[in-house]
Amino acid sequence: MDPRERRQWQVVLFLAFIGMSNAYGIDSSLPAFDEMRPDVGLPPGSNRITLAITVYFLGIAVGQPLYGPVADRFGRAPTLRVAMFIYAIGAAGSMLATGFGFLLACRTVWGFGAAGASLLHFTMARDLYSGDRMARVMSLISAVFLIGPVIGPLVAEAILRAASWRWVYAVGLLFSVAITAMSFRFGETLDPAHRRPLRLGPTIAAARRVFGCRRSMLYIAALTFADGAFLLFLTSTQQVFDIVYGRAHQFAVLFAATAIVGGIAFLLLNPAIGRWGSHPVGLAAVGSALIVNTVLLILTMASNGVPNFWIWFILMMLGSTLLSLLTPVALSCALEPLGDVAGTATGVLGLGFITCGSLLSAFVSMRIGETTTPWAIGAVGYGSISLAFLFMAGRAPDPIDAEPTMAHG
């Protein structure tokens, strides 16, 4: 597609669909945990099944710095197609797994393929936009993307009523085929002038430039801890529904409701950034999340770790939604001065915040048993650190090499 013919709505829909493929590998697993445990050799109620989510994120993290230089050298579209092929291999292997170790290995491969989707839907957006304009477009992409978490668990639940959990993972193959086909229509977004040689020296130089940008690193540090708190929602919600509250049958519908609230929040984020700017909106989102999660922690401690379900659910939903708003804001601010090395920069930054965020989340989620106390403590602790890094990022000097905003279509 000629860049001059590429409209913003086409960019939003395609990049959101790429993001949905990434999320499906997570959201579809959650309703299937109970059925998966005996088939892969785990006892009922085992929280080890949440490692299927953790290793998926680690696969995404490991893939980020590898896809980045490749995408800067060969272009976004060819790299996306290779990633979707690996994605399909991981989905197929996970579908056929009969042991927990093999499942984790295949889920890691699946995540490695999803890393291409995770990296490229940000990188392609940075090819076309920058600064507040990119943050606003990313907020629209995120709003559309959240259709996936709305229907993903519901699709999984419908499949589970009629067939094995293995067919839930088979849908991942359809994502791979669809995105590969759509990539030919959407075309390439990398400016030929920004193609970089696939050699170690230039790649290391680009990475050094990323690490040397103090403001970018502070934004990513803030995102890392916010992500650690948000991922508690993805990795542990099903277990809390099932083990703590005995409401596993309500999980898919209420998870979808949470995604709808998130979609509305991202739609509101777009005009908010236009009026107040990315950084103030990011501060407001994380600060509000910290207030909500502090209230949840107080109520949790006052009820011996098991607050009223609806109080817990509403506050958890609000806190998680507010934390998720930081992703497009922080990434847009971090990538603003790094447009000519966007692929490598996104890969390096993604490796940091996804790996560390996943490990931070796993540290807490593995401690969630019959109470929600670890969740509440983790959300407040991580949110506080994230807010501190955001304040530091706002005080950091403006990058002197930021590029002007690009707007194709």
DSSP state string for 50-66: GHHHHHHHHHHHHHHHH
Question: 59 and 51 in contact (C-beta within 8 Å)?
Answer: no
CA distance 315 to 310: 8
pLDDT tens digits, one per residue of 375-406: 999 999 999 999 999 999 988 876 654 444 44
User: What is the C-alpha end-to-end distance of the chain, expressed in Å?
Assistant: 11
* pLDDT number for residue 301: 96
* pLDDT number for residue 404: 41
* pLDDT number for residue 354: 81
Residue 85 tokens read as 């092929």
409 — pLDDT class (breaks 50, 70, 90): very low
Q: Is the pLDDT of residue 284 over 50?
A: yes
DSSP string for 351-366: HHHHHHHHHHHHHHHT
Q: Where are the domains of the chain?
A: 3-395
Mean of pLDDT values over 241-263: 88
* pLDDT number for residue 403: 45
Q: Is the pLDDT of residue 234 over 90?
A: no
* pLDDT number for residue 108: 96
Which residues touch 104 (CB under 8 Å, ≥6 apart)? 51, 52, 55
Q: 105 or 205: whose pLDDT is higher?
A: 105
Is 3.40.50.720 the CATH number for 3-395?
no
Mean of pLDDT values over 22-35: 87
Query: Tokens 């945990």 belong to which residue?
Result: 33
Residue 143 tokens read as 């709003």
CA distance 358 to 311: 26
